[in-house]
Structure 1
């Protein structure tokens, strides 16, 4: 009788272990779900370039909204300028940056008096009503092409008034 109980108990433990190994929460599915949650979901809105007053330089502004995992804006390219650089402004000091973090489930904002693009050595001076093509390059995400409309030199949108691009 004791032997039957021991054998029955051993069978129950073995069956339980076998069933646990067959659960839906396999490591592959868990890894895929974690990777999907870490994947950035980027959208660019509110892009504009004030009509430049100089023939050689211009600035650009926009907001990158991220509904996924963190990413990093690493560079910007445009056919209108020999060089496009990333800048931050703190107080009255403008400083070139190598990259900007795009926080998970957050925003990276480029606005007057803050983070911005500098288009240097313009090949042509854009005029109000033109659109300037740029490509945003990220650490994880595919590049995003944006058409930046050229606005009046004094244009400054109200916060939260971004339009999608």
Structure 2
């Protein structure tokens, strides 16, 4: 190999490396842009409440509306009221814990009496009607949302009003 070939080979190697780094940089930017363009789901919570608990457990109910083309999932709920907050569905009149709830794109998730709901196990104190219980909803894609559940009468059911 002569000096001219070695110089050309070095230049080609350097050019290839620079192009590879440049493409990698573009690829990363494109991925970030695509995520940014797609955006996080736009979620809004309404109708939140907790019936006044009569035992050491409590239920929580609310609706999560998704006004975006991106579906999401409710993964968990946290609260100072309990160290064990679960999400449950009711099937065949039996409650069972689930790992997540789907929130469809341009749709909603309803957590309501007799159906899917939040379950506070071994509550630390029994909130009274008129109190508010702070919770935080955690999603797969969207940022967490803090919500206050107004404590209603033990038999409160918005469907009956």
Q: Is TM-score (shorter-chain normalized) higher than 0.5? A: yes
The DSSP-based 3-state class of the residue aligned with 1:40 is coil
Report Cα offsets for 1:124-163 as digits up to 9, x if no partner. Answer: 101100000000000111100000000001111138x9xx
Partner of 1:113: 114
The residue matched to 1:158 in structure 2 has which SS?
helix
Which residue pairs with 1:50 in the alignment? 51
Measure, in 2, the Cα distance between the counterparts of 1:153 and 1:122. Answer: 16
What is the TM-score with the length of structure 2 in the denominator?
0.75
What CA deviation, in whole Å up to 9, does each residue of 1:64-115 have, x standing for no partner? 0001111111000000112100000012111100111111110011000000
In 1: Cα distance, 2:109 partner to 2:74 partner: 9
Match of 2:132 in 1: 131
Distance 1:70 1:88 in 2: 19
Runs of 4+ in 1 over 2 A off after TM superposition: 31-39
Check the 8 A contact 1:38/1:70 in 2, yes or no: no
Return the offset for 1:36. Answer: 3.2
Q: Which runs of 5+ in 1 are unaligned?
A: 1-27
> Between Structure 1 and Structure 2, how many residues are aligned?
132
Root-mean-square deviation (CA, aligned residues, Å) is 2.2
Q: Which residue of 2 aligns with 1:140?
A: 141
Instruction: Quote the offset at 1:45 in angstroms.
Output: 0.4
Which runs of no fewer than 5 residues in structure 2 stay unpaired?
1-28
Please give the TM-score of this superposition, normalised by the length of structure 1.
0.74
Question: How has the CA–CA distance of structure 1 residues 34 and 78 changed in structure 2, closer, same or farther, with 3 Å as cutoff?
Answer: closer
Question: Match for residue 67 of structure 1?
Answer: 67
Displacement, 1:42? Answer: 0.3
